[in-house]
Amino acid sequence: MLATAFTDLVGCRVPIQQAAMGRIAGPALAAAVAGAGGLGMIPQYGREPTAERLAWLAAHAGGAFGVGFFAGEIERDLESFDLAARTARVVEVFWGRPRADQVRRIHDGGALAFWQVGSADEAVAAAEAACDAVVAQGVEAGGHVRGTLPLLALLEATLPRVEVPVIAAGGIATGRSMAAALAAGAAAVRVGTRFAAAAESDAHPEFVRALVDAAGTDTVLTTAFSHGWPDAPHRVLRRAVEEAEAAGADVVGRVVDGDRSRDVPRWDVDPPTRWAEGRITAMAMYAGQGVGAVTGSPGAAEIVRELAEEAERLLRR
């Protein structure tokens, strides 16, 4: 029932892609999603070097995994970009106009090329650049938001214009929202906020508790957390903005990694990980509008199973 062009293309059993959430999506989370039949993802930057994370995933994932890159950062780290293309099933690019030379580089390594877009025009550009699939991001999404339309309106504008599989992103947090996106014509869904609270996530426990306590109306689209990435719209919990405003100090905490540590400036772009200390809830607690569906911290495999089973049940109706 849930076999789609996405599952055929990637080799997954379930049309679910876990979002490559910066600093939050470590190899353990990606491996758990991949093992459950979805597409697990890690971001370009992580606690360990890209080569180490890819080697661990290759040995432990038990399914398809990918790596997400920011378009503007690729040229600074071509070694990791090429290694990801040789090792992962998918290399995805975000936040930039699709470039045929970067897509060709992904294909030369043997991976599938995905591009996350915020408009139908960008989706067409990605398809013309020979991308194998596009991720259509609605404004409901957590984290950095490329889209300006609600997801279903974006799908309506995008699907008639491209022939490659389209993955729906933004506010997908339940089997019902997954079924709605698939029924609208998407080939898969991309899920972030639910996996940010998963047992394998690297999100700080206070961040996870804030997600559990939040309702869908408790997020805000802002450019407030701009230290390190100015003027880029992103969706966070409103509480994070309020507590950062109240913090006053220029530094709200630090991240400790063995014998190394770094300060976390107020309004820093990075979300609070399990290695952070200080005023955790004054940091960038990214969350999409589906956050009301976060009621606990189950394992990622359980989340995949819950979404897939509910979506299949609804679609069978």
Task: Write the CATH number for 164.
Answer: 3.20.20.70
Averaged pLDDT score across all residues of the chain? 97
- DSSP letter, residue 293: G
Count up the domains in the chain and report the number. 2
Output the pLDDT for position 317: 87
- Please compute the mean of the pLDDT values over residues 203-215 and round it to a whole number: 98
- Flag whether pLDDT at 192 surpasses 90: yes
Q: Which of 234, 182, 239, 194 is nearest to 214 (CA)?
A: 239
Output the pLDDT for position 257: 81
Per DSSP, the residues of 210-266 read HHHH--GGGEEEES---BTSTT--EEEEHHHHHHHHHH-SSEEEEEEETTEEEEEET
Domain enclosing residue 219, as ranges: 205-291
Do 95 and 46 reside in the same domain of the chain? yes
| CA atoms within 13 A of residue 19's CA, in its CB half-sphere | 33
Output the pLDDT for position 161: 98
Question: pLDDT tens digit string along 25-81?
Answer: 999 999 999 999 999 999 999 999 999 999 999 999 999 999 999 999 999 999 999
Question: pLDDT tens digit string along 278-308?
Answer: 999 999 999 999 999 999 999 999 999 999 9
Do 272 and 308 reside in the same domain of the chain? no
Q: Which position has the token pair 């933004």?
A: 170
- Flag whether pLDDT at 260 surpasses 90: no
- Flag whether pLDDT at 147 surpasses 90: no
Output the pLDDT for position 244: 98
What's the CA gap between 298 and 287, in Å, rounded?
Answer: 17
131: which 2 tokens? 């991308």
14: which 2 tokens? 């379930």
Do 80 and 120 reside in the same domain of the chain? yes
Output the pLDDT for position 186: 98
Q: Which of 288, 312, 40, 294 is nearest to 176 (CA)?
A: 312
What's the CA gap between 301 and 263, in Å, rounded?
Answer: 34
Output the pLDDT for position 117: 98
93: which 2 tokens? 């690019």
Do 15 and 33 reside in the same domain of the chain? yes
- DSSP letter, residue 129: T
Do 179 and 217 reside in the same domain of the chain? no
113: which 2 tokens? 């090329």
Output the pLDDT for position 169: 98
Residues in contact with 49: Cβ distance below 8 Å, sequence separation at least 6, in sequence order: none
On whether the CB atoms of residues 203 and 24 are closer than 8 A, the answer is: yes
Do 103 and 125 reside in the same domain of the chain? yes
Do 63 and 191 reside in the same domain of the chain? yes
- Please compute the mean of the pLDDT values over residues 208-223 and round it to a whole number: 98
pLDDT tier at 121, thresholds 50, 70, 90: very high
Do 118 and 140 reside in the same domain of the chain? yes
- Please compute the mean of the pLDDT values over residues 129-155 and round it to a whole number: 97
Rg (CA), the chain: 18
72 three-class SS: helix
Do 71 and 162 reside in the same domain of the chain? yes
- Flag whether pLDDT at 1 surpasses 80: no
Do 229 and 165 reside in the same domain of the chain? no
* Total Cβ atoms within 10 A of residue 165: 22
pTM over 0.75: yes
Q: Which position has the token pair 């394992």?
A: 299
Output the pLDDT for position 248: 87
| CA atoms within 13 A of residue 152's CA, in its CB half-sphere | 8
- Please compute the mean of the pLDDT values over residues 12-16 and round it to a whole number: 97
Do 213 and 156 reside in the same domain of the chain? no
Q: Which of 82, 115, 84, 81 is nearest to 98 (CA)?
A: 115
Do 229 and 171 reside in the same domain of the chain? no
